[in-house]
Amino acid sequence: MIPEPAEAADCRLLFVYGTLRRGFELHHQLARLGARFHTEAKVPGRLFDLGRFPGARPDDREQEWVHGEVFELRQPAADLEVLDEVEGFTPGAPEQSEFVRAITAVMLNSGARQSCWIYWLGPGQGSRRRIASGDYAEWRSRGAVT
């Protein structure tokens, strides 16, 4: 589910909820790209344990939330190509991708809503154990890694 080119061209923000967050295994990928931390935020969804990393699915009812961070990308088109590879997303074959990149409304800590890129768990990925808190950092700090 890739947005229309005009919407995509205007979006410089990326919401991350797992190992791309500050202090985790893949954050160096964002640092290498020069992405700048913007704020903490949350998105309506459910978070799942995939073993070495989490995955999220959207929740249009806004009854559950996934917590994470928003980063500003310096060169969105080029940066997203790199991140697509990191996240296992193939734009030409989203149905075969582990994660699918999309634009979604994110609630910033200020309460404002902002459009951001996100990598949702792909449609072909089976169900996994839920992380009930919706916060991968909090879950990991409790030593709940599988």
All domains in the chain, ordered by first residue: 5-141 (3.10.490.10)
Helix (H, G, I), strand (E, B) or coil at 33: helix
pTM above 0.85, yes or no: yes
Residue 5 has pLDDT above 50, yes or no: no
**pLDDT, average across residues 83-98:** 92
In this predicted model, what pLDDT tens digit does every residue of 15-72 receive, in sequence order? 999 999 999 999 999 999 999 999 999 999 999 999 889 999 998 888 999 999 999 9
SS3 37: strand
Mean pLDDT across the chain, nearest whole number?
90
Q: CA-to-CA distance for 41 and 143, rounded, in angstroms? A: 23
Average pLDDT score over residue span 103-128: 89
